[in-house]
């Protein structure tokens, strides 16, 4: 299968990063969102990040201009139907993803590959509601997409080998490395990472340490580049909670119980960096622990 055009559904933090790397690698990109403001913001973000790569001499000015010229935007989801590959990068809610794929189906070319950037939801289940489960895959990019080298590739039970091999080639063409994962809740990275963050929240909840001491302990004691609470804020505490629910529901193991304090922060709207407050308050000159 030859992939030349890529449709991306969702122009948020992940979607604009995915658009960035595909355009830079020479693919034609059509970026979709339900709000024009989100599309404008996404293009501004991609431009800023490409400028940064020019300043660091990672790419040329001409390379930046060519990449930007390859990105088109649309609020009309059906326009993505003629793309060779469509990657859904919408919010981490299964009902939302199902509606997106349902709306796309009547407009797709027979050969179009569908993919989801989900960080935890069953690929087999998402694929089963489409007309092409054999051409459906999980393609999970890491945040921030232009910087992180890994892409998790997840085959559903029906994904055929041609689709898998095609996506291996696509990941390689982006100058990234693929890690193949089986289709079980949260795959590899988040199956290990998010329960660690949840355990750090339990450590805070039970008074074992405060925000600062927990993060410092893991940075200096385990050589992690970011502390787990700082990382939770970076990912988004709502996303962390959603992944813990997927693990708890999918594996029926009490070790995946979301910490009540994590739930409380999400209920308060304290979702981390994107909302200005999480385990740190980001509204001042520098982040200050909130607990």
143 is in an annotated binding site: yes
- Burial class of 159 by CB neighbour count within 10 A (0 to 12, 13 to 18, 19+): buried
109 is in an annotated binding site: no
140 is catalytic: yes
- Looking at 16, 140, 230, 248, which residue is catalytic? 140
Which DSSP string do the residues of 51-82 spell out, in sequence order? HHHHHTTSS-HHHHHHHHHTEEEES-GGGGGG
32 is catalytic: no
92 is in an annotated binding site: yes
What is the C-alpha to C-alpha distance for residues 118 and 211, in angstroms, rounded to an integer? 29
The encoded tokens of residue 110 equal 């027979």
- Phi first, then psi: give them for residue 206, nearest 5 degrees: -90, 0
- Looking at 190, 198, 230, 248, which residue is catalytic? 190
98 is in an annotated binding site: no
13 is in an annotated binding site: yes
196 is in an annotated binding site: no
Which DSSP string do the residues of 218-241 spell out, in sequence order? HHHHS--SS-HHHHHHHH-HHHHH
The encoded tokens of residue 173 equal 């063409």
Q: For residue 261, give the H/E element and its range.
A: helix 260-267
116 is in an annotated binding site: no
250 is in an annotated binding site: no
- Looking at 5, 38, 122, 152, which residue is catalytic? 152
172 is in an annotated binding site: no
Asked if residue 144 has a cis previous peptide bond (ω within 30° of 0), the answer is yes
198 is catalytic: no
- Looking at 5, 119, 122, 198, which residue is catalytic? 119
Beta bridge partners of 71: 29
285 is catalytic: no
Of 129, 139, 133, the C-alpha closest to 156 is 133
274 is in an annotated binding site: yes
Beta bridge partners of 87: 8, 115
Binding residues: 10-15, 33, 92, 97, 119, 143, 274
Catalytic residues: 119, 140, 152, 190
Binding residues for NAD(+): 10-15, 33, 92, 97, 119, 143, 274
């Amino acid at each position: 299968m030859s992939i030349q055009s890529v449709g991306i559904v969702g122009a948020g933090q992940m979607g604009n990063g995915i658009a960035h790397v595909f355009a830079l690698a020479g693919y034609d990109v059509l970026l979709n969102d339900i709000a024009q403001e989100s599309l404008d913001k996404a293009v501004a973000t991609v431009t800023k990040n490409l400028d940064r790569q020019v300043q660091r001499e990672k790419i040329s000015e001409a390379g930046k201009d060519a990449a930007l010229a390859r990105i088109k935007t649309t609020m009309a989801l059906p326009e993505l139907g003629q793309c060779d590959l469509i990657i859904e990068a919408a919010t981490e809610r299964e009902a939302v993803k199902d509606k997106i794929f349902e709306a796309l189906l009547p407009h797709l070319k027979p050969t179009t590959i569908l993919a989801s950037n989900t960080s935890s939801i069953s690929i087999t289940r998402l694929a089963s509601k489409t007309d092409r489960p054999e051409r459906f895959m999980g393609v999970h990019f890491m945040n921030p997409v232009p910087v992180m080298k890994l892409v998790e590739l997840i085959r559903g039970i029906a994904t055929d080998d041609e689709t898998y091999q095609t996506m291996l080639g696509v990941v390689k063409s982006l100058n990234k490395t693929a890690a193949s994962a089986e289709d079980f809740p949260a795959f590899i990275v988040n199956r290990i990472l998010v329960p660690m963050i949840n355990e750090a929240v339990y450590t805070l909840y039970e008074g074992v340490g405060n925000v600062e001491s927990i993060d410092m302990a893991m940075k200096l004691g385990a050589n992690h580049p970011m502390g787990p609470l700082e990382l939770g804020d970076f990912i988004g505490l709502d996303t962390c909670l959603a992944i813990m629910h997927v693990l708890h529901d999918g594996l029926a193991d009490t070790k995946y119980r979301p910490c009540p304090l994590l739930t409380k922060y999400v209920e308060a709207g304290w979702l981390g960096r994107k909302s200005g407050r999480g385990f740190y308050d980001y509204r001042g000159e520098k982040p200050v622990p909130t607990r």
